[in-house]
Structure 1
Amino acid sequence: MDMNIHIQISIRSNLGAICPGVNINRNFDIDWGVSSASSSPCSHIYAGIEPFSEPESRFLKSILEEYKETLTLYFSLQNTGGFLAYPWHYEKAASGMFRQHYLLGLDMIKAMGDNYTQDVGSIAYGDRISGTSSDYMAINEVLYAFNIDAAPRGSEGVEVAVEDIGIFIDKVWQAIRIAANNFIP
């Protein structure tokens, strides 16, 4: 089974090192730029100049187009809060797969540790979020689409301390293993 992991922040910015660049998890064309997204390149929620303006989001779009018939499970990995979230992020409603996401999410959280919470994205984060990759995948018929926000937000913002990276990788891998095992006969 091939597993692809993508980075959520593009370092391409017309302001160079001054600003972080595009938040890839705001760069998809589902409700792009409407909620919890910024037009400022210096914002950590900068959505880009248009949907799919970044090579990372275009790459994921091409993966979906090529493997749409067989793609069933998708993860967007982030480091913003200790959540396991699923569609929808862009509206205050659950997808038709709410029950399935919830039940699988319980097992994934158990594998990661009980300090994670799960919910529909807009509820978990307390607001609507436009342009997420997991909503994009779900609207394009990928049955299971999750955001795993592996690291609690601390005084360092969204940066994970180097010494904590291995811990979060282990936790996330346990969740992915549980989910993938549900699809392997």
Structure 2
Amino acid sequence: MNACFRVLLQNTQELIEKQTANVSSDPRSSMSYYERYHPLEDIYLWINRTTHQYPDMVQPILIGSSFEKRPLWVLKLSGKRGNQPKRAMWIDCGIHAREWISHAFCLWFVQYSIDFYNQIPDMTEILDSMDIYVLPVMNPDGYKYTWTKNRMWRKNRSKHPGNYCIGTDLNRNFDANWCTMGSSHRSCDDTYCGLFPESEPEAEAVANFLRSHKHDMKLYLSIHSYSQMLLFPYSCSYQEAANHNELNEMVKEAAMNIRKYYRNQYKYGAGAKTIYLAPGGSDDWAYNLGIEYSFTFELQDKGRYGFLLPPELISKACNEALTAVKTIALKVSRKTQ
């Protein structure tokens, strides 16, 4: 019997080399800086430059460090400052190391916010009504490893006594039906859940920060790839969220806007029913914390390139994600006034 298969990529090494070519550490060197992937050291340089160049709008916050003691920098974006405390939204990128388009989006989004505040009404409204906290690299150890050792590495790089293999899946390490079906107790598996909820310093740092801001935080967004999906709780079970219909309407409108402007199709729905069971995820945990508008975006593509999305597709992928972010952020901002 003949096997039925189709080769999607003839030369993955060539594609990896394409992703890492023409890297510049200076955003001023070319207009195409945000249409390239950047190693961890360059992203840290970019964070430093951006916060120094736009101190009135961008504030760096160190929320913790990784297992290998790399800093976890959050950028706080703010528009017009009033006397009353603002509501807030959160965006994290790169919880899975190999999902490079995620990191690229966080950089893209920060620069877009800076460039078009007071230029585009949607961004002005969002930034004047909400502070935006952006974590460009949630898994710096894993991301560094994808550039130096293994492009397809997913987990962090933690080592625990008694574990045969290195690394924990940070998106299985939160306290939301932790380590049930859809995750693994085996340290060598990609979906290894860790020793206990928040056993990983990266997950603990994010959880602690969100707990300390839970009364102001109205919207949580986690950026992933790939498969082109807009997801909301729950992923940790087949239970429906209390505001399931409202969340579904939001992602439906976001998907319609992506299709309208970029002619690309995104699936949407509750995580477990739309893709698969994924307990211990940050979005479900954030929802249970009380952030009732919580979402995971899976960016381009649908599998042709997968985690090796070519640099020439960064712009379209980021614009699609930006469309979804703006659609939902405006809805949440107006609902929570």
When the two structures are superposed, what TM-score results if normalisation uses the length of structure 2? 0.49
Instruction: Indicate if the aligned counterparts of 2:159 and 2:166 stay in contact, CA closer than 8 A.
Output: no
Higher helix share: 2
Instruction: Indicate if the aligned counterparts of 1:20 and 1:44 stay in contact, CA closer than 8 A.
Output: no
Equivalents in 2 of 1:163, 1:47: separation in Å?
Answer: 34
Q: Which residue, 272, 288, 300 being the options, matches 1:122? A: 272
Q: Which residue, 71, 92, 98 being the options, matches 1:5? A: 92
Distance 1:163 1:27, change over 3 A: farther
SS of the aligned residue for 1:183 comes to helix
Instruction: Indicate if the aligned counterparts of 1:73 and 1:142 stay in contact, CA closer than 8 A.
Output: yes
Worse-matched range after superposition: 110-119 or 156-165: 156-165
Q: Which residue, 279, 282, 285 being the options, matches 1:136? A: 285
Q: 2:211 aligned with 1:65, yes or no?
A: yes
The residue that corresponds to 2:246 in the other structure is 100
Equivalents in 2 of 1:47, 1:167: separation in Å?
Answer: 33
Instruction: Indicate if the aligned counterparts of 1:20 and 1:43 stay in contact, CA closer than 8 A.
Output: no
Distance 1:48 1:102, change over 3 A: same
The residue that corresponds to 1:75 in the other structure is 221
SS of the aligned residue for 1:72 comes to strand
Instruction: Indicate if the aligned counterparts of 2:179 and 2:280 stay in contact, CA closer than 8 A.
Output: yes
Matches within 5 A, 1:1-185: 1=78, 3-9=90-96, 10=139, 11=142, 12-14=157-159, 21-113=167-259, 114-125=264-275, 127-154=276-303, 157-184=306-333
When the two structures are superposed, what TM-score results if normalisation uses the length of structure 1? 0.85
Residue 177 (structure 1) shift: 1.1
Structure with max Cα Rg: 2
Equivalents in 1 of 2:199, 2:311: separation in Å?
Answer: 30
> Percent identity between the aligned chains?
22
Residue 157 (structure 1) shift: 4.8
Worse-matched range after superposition: 79-88 or 157-166: 157-166
Equivalents in 2 of 1:22, 1:161: separation in Å?
Answer: 27
Amino acid at match of 1:120: A
Higher strand share: 2
Instruction: Indicate if the aligned counterparts of 2:217 and 2:291 stay in contact, CA closer than 8 A.
Output: yes
Residue 23 (structure 1) shift: 2.3
Residue 64 (structure 1) shift: 1.5
Structure 1 residues 67-113: Cα deviation after superposition (integer angstroms, max 9, x where no partner)? 11111111111103111111111111210111110111112112333
Q: Which runs of 5+ in 1 are unaligned?
A: none
Structure 1 residues 15-51: Cα deviation after superposition (integer angstroms, max 9, x where no partner)? 9xxx783322111011111121123444332222322
- By relative contact order (CA 8 Å, sep 6+), the higher-ranking structure is 1
Aligned length: 181
Instruction: Indicate if the aligned counterparts of 2:233 and 2:294 stay in contact, CA closer than 8 A.
Output: yes
Equivalents in 2 of 1:22, 1:158: separation in Å?
Answer: 19
Equivalents in 1 of 2:309, 2:166: separation in Å?
Answer: 15
